[in-house]
Chains A and B, each alone.
Chain A
Amino acid sequence: MTLKSLLSATALAMLPLGASAAFAEDLPPCDNCSDSMVLMSWGGAYQASQVAAYAEPYSKLTGVKITWDEGSNEAIAKMRAASEAGNMTYSLVDVEGPDSQRACDEGLAEEIDFDKDLAAAPDGTAASKDFGSAIINECFVPQIVFSTTFGYRTDVKEWNGKVPDNLCAIFDLENFPGMRALEKRPKKNLEWALLCDGVPKEELYTVLSSEGGVDRALAKLDTIKDQVVWWSAGAETPQLLADGEVVMGSTYNGRLFSAIVEQKQPIGMLWDWQVFDFDGWVVPKGLDEAQKNRVLHFLNFATDTQRLADQAKYISYGPARASSQPLVSTHATLGIEMAPYMPTNPANQKNYLVNNIEWWADNQDEVEVAFQNWLSK
């Protein structure tokens, strides 16, 4: 709470004088729009960055009251429950890419007309082009690119001064002994295991689809199974690393950024084969007209080039718009250059993966059972 208000206060303080007047001119009027919204997001530092970068400025400009619901972890389940009850209580929902696909498939989210509903880049490039490959389906308005990657402790005596410089150090118990933290889900782990089992990036999903492909990945994970702590919340890995409970582990890059830069823990970051994912908004179906108008009006503002670049001042996730990239500057309170901590920084993305959403939509259920079965053996 304090952090949130602190961040929003700083954000407002940083707006140049008279800027709000300039915005007000930019902001088109909103006809037949409701005067409140309920936004669902992830809570924590991420939601705070959204509040500071666009929710608070938008409220300031329009007087719209914004209520937050920190339920994105189970966003689709909540949307489905609200939709079945015939009372959609959320105006706009923040979800990860694969969840947006599900919301779309289940008929829970509105389709977006990207060029009509979203602001064009300052140089006039249409929104659909500016977002480019970040648009993964017709319901999803991308905000940021985040990545899941590895952090490691920089003070492990047993490593004799060696430092992991590629992904496969995870599977190298000889040179890098110690416990590892991995997510208690098959997604990403299977891909990493196959990469380190010698499968080239292009063939990952062909191998996974083939007979015994999943078993091959699990067999590779078997080699480190008794050295793994399985996490289910993204905050666990930084904590485990800070406690010395594990020597390396996967988590979201923003979490590692906080642990390294804000909390000054002896942790290093491994960008090799980071897995990119998008996070963005979906507009739930079943909103009344005034509410929907308000949401689209807000979306247009909140996902324009400047606002997405602003968000990167508060959190180390890359903006999903190409035109926002050059505007990414320094951290709002620490004053450090953010570019080196961005997953989209060219130096960090020599090797990267993007999950095949379609493959996972098809195989999630089956692979999850196989994974749980393997875990409990």
Chain B
Amino acid sequence: MTEQTADGLMLAADGKPLKQSLNRALRRQKLRAFLLIAPLLIFVLVTFIAPIGDMLFRSVENDIVADTLPRTVAALADWSPDSGAPPGEPVYRALASDLLIAVAAKTHTQLGTRLNYEDSGFSSLLRGTGRDVDDMGEDVGKALVAVDPVWDEPVTWTNLLGDPAWISAQADWAKAGDKTPEPPFVPSAAAQKNLPLTAAAYGDFARVMQTVKEDSPTEKRPWNTVAVSLTEDLKANPSAAAAFGADWQPRLSAVVAAEQGGAIPAADFMAAFTESDKAWGTPQPWEVIKTFSPRFTSGYFLNAVDLKMTPEGIAPRSEAERVYLMLFLRTMVLSLVITGTCILLGYPVAWLLANLPARTANLLMILVLLPFWTSLLVRTSAWKVLLQQQGVINDLLVWAGLVADNNRLVLINNQTGTIIAMTHILLPFMILPLYSVMKTIPPSYLRAAKSLGATDWTAFWRVYFPQSVPGIGAGSILVFILAIGYYITPELVGGAKGVFISNRIAYHIGTSLNWGLAAALGSLLLVVVLVLYWVYDRIVGIDNVKLG
């Protein structure tokens, strides 16, 4: 069948080196194996890994501040909270511009919710100021109209600032009827050069009108910030009027003259914000915005371990604000206790299952599996009926005279309740791996040990038990990992002191909607599990674990 070449290479029947054709065959086999598992792999990636990855990403993602308040964040770059004073007028101006856009898109309340996680009160601060921001700078707008009523006409602004090509395109569009969307506003080069602030402010206004409000800028009077920008542009560059057509020169000159004559007040956004809410006059809200302006934040993770981010750095939370570390610890301790009780209760049952005659063992197996097939909620509620103070167990104890009627045992709505109910629910996960391992231990070993003079205990402890350890290992891992993620059972029977960290995660996902914090807590839980798994592997060795 095979031949050997002169240099000792084995050749296959087709004359190619054996090693090569063997490799090819193996590669084909590997590919086939991969194709077989590919559907599962894709399924797991799409439905499991990707959503989990997305969720975990939320624990650091923090785009909302920079996206909603871009101008404010940029303006705050120069301000330091150490100064102890609120920032200057340009920052207030920037915030007014940002808020006008945010209010139109209704994103200011979302931002309020986000910042409220860090500083209670932000939610209503932004909601309240959002209501007032339209009127800020109103005195300037009114003064402008007083100088010349033409400034009250929306078209004045589009004609002054719009690109001539856009103006004619817009006119054509208006004539054709509004079936298609209006052509997006384009500022003229002259406006951008000579009235830069105004062109930018009006550009924002026109974009918001066209995209968010689906309104034409030719029909809406611009925000007061545009009027304020115009007066400032003209103050900085009184000769700007020269760049515009003959129609505009007297109008713009009149504004310059009115400004110089003191008929147009200087805008005071700081006063307007402080009037809306006096909190804006303090450094506090600015500190929060500045601290949480980066696009990625460690804030959620810090919160998840009872720390907080302050302008001075990371600081521990006060005694009354700490809750998560304690819950992590409690989750670990209770899960270990539950794993322990599962071993204690499950070991003898698994031994019986493995050693009784088949008929009895099968019956016993059904008894083990039956609760496994019953709804989790039903089993948990059944424990309530059994364990409560007027429940079956207490009634029996009182009837038997073991417990006084006015001193019934408190078995539920505390940690005892959680341990009892969860041990029961997780017991099959301990019994089944134990059983499958014990089934493979030949009974003859025990007999041999005894015939060599070992007592029952020695035979068990020195011969049988070491062989069943892989089953304990597998069962413990299953039970422990399931236990630390449980939340329905602790919520129902755990009362105040028997709830787990998962209950807080569920609360933040479903009720408080702080998904960032929930993701951070979840990530930490995942890390804890992986670390414990690693430790376990180092101590017991994962190869010693048998699931069946």
Contact = CB atoms under 8 A, between A and B. Distances in A.
Interface string B179-214: 000000000000000000000000000000000000
Interface in B472-506: 491-492, 495-497, 504
B511 interface: yes
B326 A376 contact: yes
B116 A362 contact: yes
Contacts of A184: 496
A245 B496 contact: no
B495 A229 contact: yes
B513 A73 contact: no
B509 A372 contact: no
A62 interface: no
Nearest to B512: A365
A80 interface: yes
Contacts of B321: 366, 369-370, 373
Contacts of B322: 373
A347 interface: no
B10 interface: no
A216 interface: no
Interface stretch (B106-114, B280-288, B356-364): B106-114
A362 B121 contact: yes
Contacts of B513: 76-77, 80, 102, 106
A333 interface: no
A243 B384 CA distance: 11
Interface residues of B, number: 39
A105 B127 contact: yes
B72 interface: no
A375 interface: yes
A106 B111 CA distance: 9
Contacts of A364: 512
Interface in A211-229: 215, 228-229
Given A74-B510, A105-B112, A107-B106, A245 B388 contact: yes
A368 B508 CA distance: 11
A365 B116 contact: yes
B80 interface: no
Nearest to A361: B123
A372 B324 CA distance: 10
B522 to A, nearest CB: 15
Nearest to B119: A366
Nearest to B388: A245
A76 B510 CA distance: 8
A230 interface: yes
A375 B512 contact: no
B323 interface: yes
Contact of A365 (B112, B120, B510): B120
A15 B248 CA distance: 71
B510 A77 contact: yes
A76 B124 CA distance: 19
B320 interface: yes
A171 to B, nearest CB: 18
B389 interface: yes
Given A74-B510, A106-B513, A375-B497, A363 B120 contact: yes
A232 interface: yes
A243 B388 contact: yes
Interface string A96-109: 00000010111100
Interface in B35-75: none
Interface string B311-335: 0000000001111001100100000
A75 to B, nearest CB: 9
Nearest to B504: A372
Nearest to A229: B413
A105 B123 CA distance: 9
A274 B492 CA distance: 25
A186 B117 CA distance: 17
B373 to A, nearest CB: 22
Nearest to A372: B323
Interface in A240-269: 243-245
A31 interface: no
B355 interface: no
B315 to A, nearest CB: 16
Nearest to A368: B512
A243 to B, nearest CB: 5
A358 interface: yes
Contacts of B117: 365
Interface range for A: 35 or more
Nearest to A179: B389
Nearest to B322: A373
B124 A244 contact: no
B360 to A, nearest CB: 38
B514 interface: yes
Interface string B512-526: 111000000000000
A375 B491 CA distance: 13
B511 to A, nearest CB: 7
A73 B510 contact: yes
Contacts of A107: 106-107, 109-110
Contacts of B120: 362-363, 365-366
Contacts of B511: 74, 77
B168 interface: no
Contacts of A80: 513
A373 B320 contact: yes
A106 B496 contact: no
Contacts of B495: 229-230
Contacts of A368: 507, 512
B124 A230 contact: no
B29 interface: no
A107 B110 CA distance: 7
Contact of A375 (B496, B509, B514): B496
Contacts of B121: 362-363
A292 to B, nearest CB: 16
A245 B389 CA distance: 6
B390 A243 contact: yes
A243 B395 CA distance: 12
B75 to A, nearest CB: 25
Given A105-B109, A365-B116, A77 B509 contact: yes
Contacts of A104: 109
B124 A358 contact: yes
A105 B113 CA distance: 8
A244 B323 contact: no
Given A362-B123, A365-B117, A369-B321, A232 B491 contact: yes
A77 B492 CA distance: 21
A376 B490 CA distance: 14
A245 B390 CA distance: 6
A139 to B, nearest CB: 10
Interface in A313-337: none
- Most A CB within 10 A of own CB, among B106, B120, B512: B120
A80 B511 CA distance: 12
Interface of A: 73-74, 76-77, 80, 102, 104-107, 179, 184, 215, 228-230, 232, 243-245, 358, 361-366, 368-370, 372-376
Q: Which are the 3 A-B pairs with shortest beta-carbon distances?
A: A105-B109, A74-B510, A375-B496
Given A366-B321, A376-B330, 10 more contacts: A76-B513, A104-B109, A229-B413, A244-B390, A368-B507, A369-B321, A369-B323, A370-B321, A373-B320, A376-B327
Interface of B: 106-107, 109-110, 112-113, 116-117, 120-124, 127, 320-323, 326-327, 330, 388-391, 413, 491-492, 495-497, 504, 507, 509-514
22 contacts: A76-B513, A105-B109, A105-B112, A105-B113, A106-B109, A106-B110, A107-B106, A228-B496, A230-B495, A232-B492, A243-B390, A245-B390, A361-B123, A361-B124, A365-B116, A365-B120, A365-B512, A368-B512, A373-B321, A373-B322, A374-B320, A376-B497
